[in-house]
Structure 1
Amino acid sequence: MLTGKQKRFLRAKSHHLKPIFQVGKSGVTENLNKQLEDVLEKRELIKISILQNCLEDKYTVADEISVATNSEIVQIIGNNIVLYKESENHNQIVLPE
Protein backbone atom coordinates (compact mmCIF):
# COMPACT_ATOMS: atom_id res chain seq x y z
CA MET A 1 0.00 0.00 0.00
CA LEU A 2 1.33 3.41 -0.97
CA THR A 3 1.42 6.30 1.50
CA GLY A 4 0.20 9.78 0.59
CA LYS A 5 3.77 11.02 0.27
CA GLN A 6 4.66 8.19 -2.11
CA LYS A 7 1.53 8.81 -4.22
CA ARG A 8 2.44 12.51 -4.50
CA PHE A 9 5.94 11.56 -5.59
CA LEU A 10 4.64 9.13 -8.23
CA ARG A 11 2.01 11.62 -9.49
CA ALA A 12 4.79 14.16 -10.05
CA LYS A 13 6.86 11.56 -11.93
CA SER A 14 3.89 10.49 -14.07
CA HIS A 15 2.91 14.03 -15.08
CA HIS A 16 5.08 14.04 -18.22
CA LEU A 17 4.22 10.45 -19.24
CA LYS A 18 2.02 9.80 -22.25
CA PRO A 19 -0.56 6.98 -22.10
CA ILE A 20 0.95 3.85 -23.63
CA PHE A 21 -2.20 1.69 -23.51
CA GLN A 22 -5.81 2.38 -24.37
CA VAL A 23 -8.87 0.58 -23.04
CA GLY A 24 -11.67 0.66 -25.58
CA LYS A 25 -14.93 -1.04 -26.41
CA SER A 26 -13.72 -4.54 -25.56
CA GLY A 27 -12.74 -3.44 -22.04
CA VAL A 28 -10.09 -5.22 -19.99
CA THR A 29 -8.99 -8.44 -21.69
CA GLU A 30 -6.60 -11.17 -20.65
CA ASN A 31 -4.21 -10.16 -23.43
CA LEU A 32 -4.21 -6.54 -22.21
CA ASN A 33 -3.43 -7.67 -18.66
CA LYS A 34 -0.49 -9.79 -19.87
CA GLN A 35 0.96 -6.87 -21.82
CA LEU A 36 0.47 -4.52 -18.87
CA GLU A 37 2.33 -6.91 -16.56
CA ASP A 38 5.28 -7.03 -18.95
CA VAL A 39 5.43 -3.24 -19.31
CA LEU A 40 5.02 -2.65 -15.57
CA GLU A 41 7.99 -4.94 -14.95
CA LYS A 42 10.14 -2.81 -17.25
CA ARG A 43 8.87 0.71 -16.49
CA GLU A 44 7.25 0.47 -13.02
CA LEU A 45 5.06 3.54 -13.68
CA ILE A 46 2.62 3.73 -16.60
CA LYS A 47 -0.34 5.76 -17.76
CA ILE A 48 -3.39 4.17 -19.41
CA SER A 49 -6.05 6.03 -21.36
CA ILE A 50 -9.72 4.99 -21.31
CA LEU A 51 -11.49 5.73 -24.57
CA GLN A 52 -14.99 7.16 -24.67
CA ASN A 53 -16.40 4.04 -26.32
CA CYS A 54 -15.43 1.93 -23.30
CA LEU A 55 -18.61 0.48 -21.81
CA GLU A 56 -17.25 0.14 -18.27
CA ASP A 57 -16.73 2.84 -15.64
CA LYS A 58 -13.14 4.12 -15.30
CA TYR A 59 -13.01 3.14 -11.63
CA THR A 60 -14.10 -0.41 -12.46
CA VAL A 61 -11.48 -0.63 -15.22
CA ALA A 62 -8.78 0.66 -12.86
CA ASP A 63 -9.74 -1.88 -10.18
CA GLU A 64 -9.79 -4.77 -12.66
CA ILE A 65 -6.37 -3.88 -14.04
CA SER A 66 -4.92 -3.28 -10.59
CA VAL A 67 -6.06 -6.68 -9.31
CA ALA A 68 -5.04 -8.56 -12.46
CA THR A 69 -1.54 -7.05 -12.57
CA ASN A 70 -1.05 -6.82 -8.80
CA SER A 71 -0.25 -3.10 -9.10
CA GLU A 72 -1.20 0.06 -7.19
CA ILE A 73 -3.51 2.75 -8.51
CA VAL A 74 -1.65 6.04 -8.11
CA GLN A 75 -4.21 8.34 -9.69
CA ILE A 76 -7.35 8.43 -11.81
CA ILE A 77 -7.64 11.81 -13.49
CA GLY A 78 -10.00 12.48 -16.36
CA ASN A 79 -9.91 9.37 -18.51
CA ASN A 80 -6.35 8.45 -17.53
CA ILE A 81 -5.19 5.91 -14.97
CA VAL A 82 -1.69 5.93 -13.48
CA LEU A 83 -0.42 2.58 -12.18
CA TYR A 84 2.71 1.64 -10.23
CA LYS A 85 4.25 -1.73 -9.54
CA GLU A 86 7.71 -2.19 -8.09
CA SER A 87 9.89 -4.09 -10.52
CA GLU A 88 11.71 -7.24 -9.45
CA ASN A 89 14.59 -6.89 -11.91
CA HIS A 90 14.54 -3.31 -13.24
CA ASN A 91 14.26 -1.10 -10.14
CA GLN A 92 14.40 2.50 -11.36
CA ILE A 93 12.14 4.42 -9.00
CA VAL A 94 13.13 4.88 -5.36
CA LEU A 95 10.09 5.78 -3.29
CA PRO A 96 10.37 8.19 -0.35
CA GLU A 97 9.74 6.73 3.10
Structure 2
Amino acid sequence: MSLCLMVLLCRCSTTRTVYVPMACVPLPANLTTPTAIPMPPSAVVNNRLTYGQSVNWNSLLLAALESANNDKALIRQAEQQREQQHAKSGTAEKNH
Protein backbone atom coordinates (compact mmCIF):
# COMPACT_ATOMS: atom_id res chain seq x y z
CA MET A 1 0.00 0.00 0.00
CA SER A 2 2.75 2.44 0.86
CA LEU A 3 4.33 1.68 -2.51
CA CYS A 4 1.13 2.73 -4.28
CA LEU A 5 1.01 5.99 -2.32
CA MET A 6 4.60 6.72 -3.21
CA VAL A 7 3.86 6.20 -6.91
CA LEU A 8 0.88 8.54 -6.65
CA LEU A 9 2.94 11.22 -4.96
CA CYS A 10 5.61 11.05 -7.62
CA ARG A 11 3.09 11.33 -10.42
CA CYS A 12 1.38 14.37 -8.96
CA SER A 13 4.49 16.46 -8.72
CA THR A 14 5.33 18.75 -11.61
CA THR A 15 8.16 21.14 -12.18
CA ARG A 16 7.71 24.52 -13.73
CA THR A 17 10.45 25.85 -15.96
CA VAL A 18 10.67 29.62 -16.08
CA TYR A 19 12.82 31.24 -18.74
CA VAL A 20 14.18 34.64 -17.84
CA PRO A 21 15.11 36.92 -20.73
CA MET A 22 18.62 38.27 -20.39
CA ALA A 23 20.28 41.00 -22.37
CA CYS A 24 23.60 39.76 -23.69
CA VAL A 25 26.09 42.57 -23.39
CA PRO A 26 28.96 42.21 -25.85
CA LEU A 27 32.52 42.49 -24.62
CA PRO A 28 34.35 45.70 -25.48
CA ALA A 29 36.22 45.46 -28.78
CA ASN A 30 39.54 46.38 -27.18
CA LEU A 31 39.43 43.14 -25.14
CA THR A 32 38.93 40.91 -28.15
CA THR A 33 41.38 42.44 -30.62
CA PRO A 34 44.57 40.45 -31.16
CA THR A 35 47.62 41.60 -29.26
CA ALA A 36 50.28 42.93 -31.60
CA ILE A 37 53.44 40.84 -31.69
CA PRO A 38 56.53 43.04 -31.45
CA MET A 39 58.95 42.47 -34.30
CA PRO A 40 62.66 41.99 -33.65
CA PRO A 41 64.85 45.08 -33.88
CA SER A 42 65.48 46.27 -37.43
CA ALA A 43 69.25 46.20 -36.91
CA VAL A 44 69.35 42.37 -36.96
CA VAL A 45 72.19 41.18 -39.19
CA ASN A 46 72.08 37.71 -40.83
CA ASN A 47 69.06 36.71 -38.70
CA ARG A 48 71.12 36.97 -35.52
CA LEU A 49 70.38 39.11 -32.53
CA THR A 50 73.02 40.57 -30.29
CA TYR A 51 72.60 40.04 -26.58
CA GLY A 52 71.51 43.65 -26.10
CA GLN A 53 68.96 43.42 -28.93
CA SER A 54 67.61 40.23 -27.43
CA VAL A 55 67.13 41.87 -24.04
CA ASN A 56 65.32 44.82 -25.60
CA TRP A 57 63.11 42.56 -27.71
CA ASN A 58 62.33 40.34 -24.70
CA SER A 59 61.05 43.35 -22.77
CA LEU A 60 58.73 44.19 -25.70
CA LEU A 61 57.51 40.59 -25.86
CA LEU A 62 56.86 40.51 -22.11
CA ALA A 63 54.90 43.78 -22.35
CA ALA A 64 52.74 42.26 -25.12
CA LEU A 65 52.17 39.14 -23.01
CA GLU A 66 51.19 41.26 -20.01
CA SER A 67 48.72 43.19 -22.16
CA ALA A 68 47.14 39.95 -23.39
CA ASN A 69 46.91 38.58 -19.84
CA ASN A 70 45.27 41.81 -18.64
CA ASP A 71 42.69 41.51 -21.42
CA LYS A 72 41.95 37.93 -20.38
CA ALA A 73 41.57 38.97 -16.75
CA LEU A 74 39.09 41.68 -17.75
CA ILE A 75 37.14 39.15 -19.83
CA ARG A 76 36.98 36.77 -16.84
CA GLN A 77 35.81 39.65 -14.64
CA ALA A 78 33.08 40.60 -17.15
CA GLU A 79 31.97 36.97 -17.34
CA GLN A 80 31.76 36.72 -13.54
CA GLN A 81 29.64 39.88 -13.42
CA ARG A 82 27.38 38.44 -16.12
CA GLU A 83 26.98 35.21 -14.13
CA GLN A 84 26.19 37.16 -10.95
CA GLN A 85 23.54 39.20 -12.75
CA HIS A 86 22.08 36.01 -14.17
CA ALA A 87 21.99 34.44 -10.69
CA LYS A 88 20.36 37.55 -9.20
CA SER A 89 17.70 37.72 -11.89
CA GLY A 90 16.97 34.01 -11.45
CA THR A 91 16.60 34.48 -7.69
CA ALA A 92 14.38 37.52 -8.14
CA GLU A 93 12.19 35.61 -10.60
CA LYS A 94 11.74 32.71 -8.16
CA ASN A 95 10.66 35.07 -5.37
CA HIS A 96 7.76 36.44 -7.45
Q: Could you state the TM-score of these two structures normalised by the residue count of structure 2?
A: 0.26
Higher helix share: 2
Rg: which structure is higher? Answer: 2
The structure carrying a bigger strand percent of its residues is 1
